Amino acid sequence: MKKGITAWDLTMLALGTIVGGSFFLGSAIPIKNSGPSVIIAYILGGILVYFILLALSEMTVAESLPGSFRSFAQYYLGSWMGFIVGWQYWTGMVLAMSSEAVAVSVFLKEWFPGIPIILVGSIIIILTTAVNLLGTDKLSALESILAALKLLAVIGFIVIAVGLISGIFFERQVVIHPFQGRFFAGGAMSFAGSMLIVMFTYAGFEIIGLAASEAENPHKNVPKAINLTVLILSGLYIIAISSLLFLVPYDTLTEETSPFVAALSFQGIPWASNIMNVILVIAILSTMFAASFGIARMLNSLAIEGYAPQWIKEKKDIPAKCIIYSGLAMLFAFLSSFILPKKVYVFLVSSGGYSLLFTYLIISITHFIFRKKSGCPPEGHCQLPGYPFTSVLTVLSLILIIASMPFIEGQGSGLAAGICLTALYSVCYLIFVKRKT
């Protein structure tokens, strides 16, 4: 493929995928369930993301392959795992992005009450597909703008929060003292269960690996993009969440309202909360644009390997058929939310969290085997410190997070749905792939 994506492009593409509705809206769940200890959760999440990204980077530096972690899993763990992790990731992201389309449609419905939600969401998915058809260069340029707006919004919130807490920029309002109560507000089990949503707010960083085959000088730019992504992301997340705890009682937060909007409204700044609502819409759109990039590349990798319909296989710079196919899948999943019973659809969508954790677990296991068999990448490009101890720690942590999912209400169904998907794709592999060989 044509090489041309820079380290900064990769970073902004990753940040465009990561900083979305799961942070601006979904972070209310771990904050409410964990209380002040949520800060520790975000620090641990940032460390895990860093270890997983370094593991992916080492393999990418050794050989930049289309399909990234799916291709590595297939080489080191076998064709079954390559099939499973590819389809699990693709399905999980399609379902997650369909739920993002539902969320952004609900927000836009408040501004355009005369337009049905089903029409708004369908237009958004069609727009997302069309933007991806423009090509990597144009998408990365657009994502740079949208990601910058999201980052500026987080920085803006931090500045306002500091002003409110200190009384420097604003007349001092009500300042909460979150550390006077229990640090682990919901106990150890709630803290462990909350790690799923925390990791979900970091989800999307793996797009660096999926885009690596289209990067300019991947040996240099992929590691650089990883360092920039983790440094910017974890720093802003930790500071923003810490500031938020001083502005609104964490036990009053709900998953229906952004905690940032709730905090600014609680502090009597409605104009700022209105701006945050606009940013929330931009954040979700940006996430959908960038995530669709990764989804299409994963599907194309599956097709090239013979694990997906051959008529969608592309060897061009823009995998147009895979982009359109993935867009139609998102549209189908979105429309299903209005047809299927609510419990069934929530059951399906909640598998997205499990699917991503499963992917990260396979990345970590694959890297462990990669280092055992191949040693350091060429020219000594070892990046993961403390191997093999950090690898084992990452694997055990991810297993613990997955096992802790049922401790938070609603996450048990996500675990069950994810395991069902894994079983379903295992059967599909035996029927459609293994039988042919």
> Rounded distance, CA 101 to CA 399, Å?
30
pTM of the model: 0.84
Q: How far is CA 366 from the centre of its chain?
A: 20
Mark 208-236 as b/e (b = at least 16 C-beta within 10 Å).
bbbbbbbbeebbebbbbbbbbbbebbbeb
- Non-local (6+) Cβ contacts of 343 within 8 A are none
Give the CA dihedral 285, 286, 292, 294, nearest 10 degrees: -160
The residue written with tokens 């990046």 in the block is 383
Domain boundaries along the sequence of the chain: 7-436
Which CATH entry fits the domain spanning 7-436: 3.30.70.260, 1.20.1740.10, 3.40.50.1370, 3.40.640.10? 1.20.1740.10
Number of H helices, E strands in the chain: 18, 0
Based on its alpha-carbon atoms, the radius of gyration of the chain, rounded to whole angstroms, reads 21
Going residue by residue through the chain (437 aa), what tens digit of pLDDT does each one get?
A: 445 667 777 787 777 777 777 788 778 888 888 888 889 989 999 999 889 988 888 887 777 666 678 888 998 998 999 999 999 989 988 888 888 888 788 778 777 888 888 898 899 999 999 998 988 778 877 877 887 888 888 888 888 888 888 777 666 556 666 666 667 676 777 777 778 778 878 877 777 776 766 667 777 777 788 888 888 888 889 999 988 888 888 888 877 778 888 888 888 877 776 787 788 888 888 888 888 888 898 898 888 888 888 888 877 778 889 999 999 999 998 888 788 766 665 666 667 778 888 999 999 999 999 988 877 766 556 778 888 899 999 999 999 888 887 777 667 877 888 888 899 999 989 887 776 65
Q: What is the pLDDT of residue 61?
A: 75
Task: Give the CA count within 13 Å in the CB-facing half-sphere of 99.
Answer: 20
Torsions phi, psi of 88, nearest 5? -65, -45
Residue 156's alpha-carbon distances to 104, 143, 245, 275, in angstroms, are 22, 19, 16, 10
